[in-house]
Structure 1
Amino acid sequence: MATTKTMGVQVSPDPINKWWYVVSCFVALMVGVNTVNILFNVLGSALTAGFGWSRLELVSGLTLFTVVDGISVLLIGFLVSRYGIRKVAIPAAAMFGLGIGLIGLSPNDLRFFYACCAISGVGAGAVGPSVYSVVVGAWFDDKRGLALGIINVGLGLCGTLMPFLINGLFGAYGWRWTFAVVGLLCGLIPVVAYGAVLRMPRAWDTARVTARSSGKGIGEPLGALLKQRSLWLISISILLVSAATYGMLSQIVAICTDHHIARVTALSILSTASISSIASRLVVGYLLDRLFAPFLACSIFLLCAAGVVVLTQTAQVPVLYGGAVLLGLGLGAEGDIAAYIISRYIDKNSYAKALGIVIFLFAQGGALGVGLLSYTYSITSSYTVAGALIFVLTVLSAFSLLFLGPYRYDVTGAKVTSHHPALPHNNPLGDH
């Protein structure tokens, strides 16, 4: 049987077509980590009305979830490098769904509610794009950008379809049963995907087991990894842009209803951002295989910054739809860009660890955006000031990637010895 080349290593062919990994990740991300953000958007008013909590008290639960999610992503990235995908991801995914479901049992006690948010956050690292990107990135070389883009379309569809599913369940059964049903879906589907389909190439698992037998994890030690300038430039950029995308996504419905826009229109604007992110994921995934990623990312993040200004500075519905489209461009691109660009600047055996670090900071950026918007609103009764601050952070995010320099690794994971600074290594014109 012929061998194939994966991440620069000769391995035996997989018993199934590698695109099935893409399909599985795509479906799992439709009920992935973004579901929590949508639950707060759609059911937030029901919780505040039912319990008498303030908007800040409620959104603090989302902030807590986001912080714990970031820690979870970081830890799961290291645990996967040591123990493999399934032993780590299956129990974590189940915990994510459990935390959501338990909110449906919440008494009028913020401590119980925050505990549920924290439980869900502990498992959230397994149901976001991080681990799925590790799996898909390991199986794809020349079409890696496209494959990563496709799986992240599932994340976009979560934002597009889930608001209407949640709203429909809420209308029919109330918010408690909605949390229970959504929690079941969010736990069960990822567990089945990990248990029945997803796994790493044999060469990767062999390297992991060998490293573990010597008391080490696969790839570079953490200290050496943290000294790499490229890792910090990528991390800072993703942290800052996530403050815009995740922060704004959590508040779009509130921003619109504060301007006396009908709830159904507000949900439609939220869905527009997600639809835009779907198109962005596909287009960006395709372009990452053909264009120099830092230039592409800078352009998209600047458009996202413009969307932040539009959403926080106007109350005109047609203009808000345009702002949602621009925000969606960044929302769709950030995951693809993070997953792809790390593979071109960080050694392939350190990919899971590096992606864990970047996604950890991505989550903290989201918490920063949510907290910034909520706190400034509680003080000023407006999102204008926070919008201006987030705009500045997004512009800084865009330009920080331009300092990365040329790619360090080609698409197979081999170190590049000569470069063309503005072209990807697999461009027909070449780096050489």
Structure 2
Amino acid sequence: MRNIPYFPGWNVVAGSSVGIGFGSVPFFASGFALLAGAMAKDFSWSQPEVAKAASIYLLLQTVAYPLCGWPLDRWGSRAFALVSIALFAASALVLSRIDGSLWQFYLAFALMGIVAAGTNVVSYARAIALWFNRKRGLALGFAASGQAVGSFIIPIAFHTMISAHGWSWTLVAMAVFELVICLPLVALLVKDSPKPLGLLPDGASAETVTASTPADDSMTVREIVRTGVFWKLAISFAIMGMSFYAIAPNIVYILTKKAGLGLADVATIQAVSGIAVLFGRIGFGYLLDRVHAPFVGIVALVLTSICAMTYATTSVPMLIIFASILNGLAIGGDTDLMPYLASRYFGTAAVSRIFGWFLFAFFLGAAIGPVTFAQLSATFGGSDLPLMLLAGLQIIPALLFLSIGRYRTSEASGLSGAVAS
């Protein structure tokens, strides 16, 4: 097959990386604790009250994810992502104007949770799955690595701006950045499919297609939801979401109350974790093209378990930093795994809808995580038990990953570590 010198699919990856890097996931995972901490200090809110906003946001974003699938499969990644970025910026402006009412705080995060779902990987996974086959894991990894860049920049930028100008102007600046930087770059770079250019996935020319090319054996949504593999993956992702978001919004509490660190230290540790996410995204993406993906998922679970146990058993700064690096590496595998597994086990025809349901499961668990962890911490008076329970919980998805078998789709044939069945 004739290969073109430069494959424009990598432009799609670059544009996706910008959109994902400054979407709602890195904003919430890395910026919420600092932003909400500043607001809580101004308005005398308690930690459980702030945690409720996190759960409201995550619950509404959870509901929104499955709703993204149909318009994405109908209208494509580019249009849906652009609308989502604009609405995300508008919701940040709404949040910047609250006046101290908890109900306003909750409603603003509810709005953001609904409109910002499309700023994340779900909007771009379909385009990447259509542009890439054999390098799909690596392409997803590079695209999702933008989230790591955002996770590094956001806590430092938020801490600096909140200290200098307050939380309200920080939100305004974020909205302007979304509209002036992110939206134009996504519009320029993200294209929905290689077909208009006469190309196939990975840069092959459509002119060279032969009868021996494997046909697309994608399953319908109705067929997919009747399989055991779908439900095993959904349960696994729910537990993974609950585990990560039990820690992320409560990280200020964990590190200041239990480890005795200051807010500046927490911001630095969050930034270090963000760098680890970058390596995790690319590293896990590389592995997904070479190792059976459920085994890669188990590696991420082991890292999460070690992180939770470390937070529970030490206050030594270097070990805390080590744990945050492991946590960053672990979350680097989650976003890559969901669309990759959806496309390999079920095909690309309905990948947005199935990925949307996996995200629904992930964030359903995530919505439970923050408040459950906060309540357990309050009930047991700062005990290490909640973190130890979190570490042990990773056994369940590990066993489910081991039980799902080989890839199904014909397009996965020939991949190392997985034979289509």
TM-score range, shorter chain: 0.7 to 0.9
Structure 2 partner of 1:242? 241
* Matching of residue 231 in structure 1 with residue 227 in structure 2: no
Q: Is the 8 A contact 1:73 1:360 kept in 2?
A: yes
SS at 1:53 equivalent = coil
SS at 1:141 equivalent = coil
Q: Is the 8 A contact 2:249 2:370 kept in 1?
A: yes
Structure 2 partner of 1:19? 10
CA displacement, residues 23-82 of structure 1 (integer Å, 9 cap, x when unaligned): 111122221122023332112222112112111111211111111111221101122123
Distance in 2 between residues matched to 1:3 and 1:364, nearest whole Å: 45
Residue 428 of structure 1 deviates from its aligned partner by: 9.2
Q: Is the 8 A contact 1:220 1:350 kept in 2?
A: yes
Q: Is the 8 A contact 2:406 2:419 kept in 1?
A: no
Pairing 1:330-369 to 2, within 5 Å after superposition: 330-369=330-369
Which piece of structure 1 moves more, 186-195 or 257-266? 186-195
CA displacement, residues 192-251 of structure 1 (integer Å, 9 cap, x when unaligned): 2443332321659xxxxxxxxxxxxxx755433311211111111111112222321222
Residue 285 of structure 1 deviates from its aligned partner by: 0.8
SS at 2:382 equivalent = coil
Structure 1 partner of 2:199? none
Give the AA of the match of 1:29.
I
Identity %: 22
Which piece of structure 1 moves more, 223-232 or 380-389? 380-389
Distance in 2 between residues matched to 1:73 and 1:189, nearest whole Å: 24
SS at 1:35 equivalent = helix
CA 1:262–1:150 in structure 2 vs 1: closer, same or farther (change >3 Å)?
same
| Count of equivalent residues | 400
* Matching of residue 169 in structure 1 with residue 158 in structure 2: no
Pairing 1:99-178 to 2, within 5 Å after superposition: 99-178=91-170
Q: Is the 8 A contact 1:160 1:271 kept in 2?
A: yes
13, 19, 37: which one aligns with 1:28 = 19
TM-score by length of 2: 0.88
* Matching of residue 408 in structure 1 with residue 394 in structure 2: no
Q: Is the 8 A contact 2:48 2:375 kept in 1?
A: yes
Residue 184 of structure 1 deviates from its aligned partner by: 2.7
SS at 1:363 equivalent = helix
Q: Is the 8 A contact 1:94 1:123 kept in 2?
A: no
Residue 332 of structure 1 deviates from its aligned partner by: 0.6
CA displacement, residues 355-378 of structure 1 (integer Å, 9 cap, x when unaligned): 110011111122222122122223
SS at 2:349 equivalent = helix
TM-score by length of 1: 0.85
Q: Which has the higher contact order (CA 8 A, sep 6+)?
A: 2
CA 1:229–1:181 in structure 2 vs 1: closer, same or farther (change >3 Å)?
same
Pairing 1:219-298 to 2, within 5 Å after superposition: 222-259=221-258, 260-298=260-298
* Matching of residue 57 in structure 1 with residue 46 in structure 2: no
Superposed CA RMSD in Å reads 2.6
Give the AA of the match of 1:174.
G
Distance in 2 between residues matched to 1:153 and 1:185, nearest whole Å: 19
CA displacement, residues 117-170 of structure 1 (integer Å, 9 cap, x when unaligned): 111111222111111222212101111111111111111111111100111111
Pairing 1:366-385 to 2, within 5 Å after superposition: 366-382=366-382, 384-385=384-385
Segments of 5+ residues of structure 1 without an aligned counterpart are 5-12, 205-218, 417-424
CA 1:332–1:429 in structure 2 vs 1: closer, same or farther (change >3 Å)?
closer
Residue 190 of structure 1 deviates from its aligned partner by: 4.3
Give the AA of the match of 2:257.
D
Distance in 1 between residues matched to 2:361 and 2:417, nearest whole Å: 35
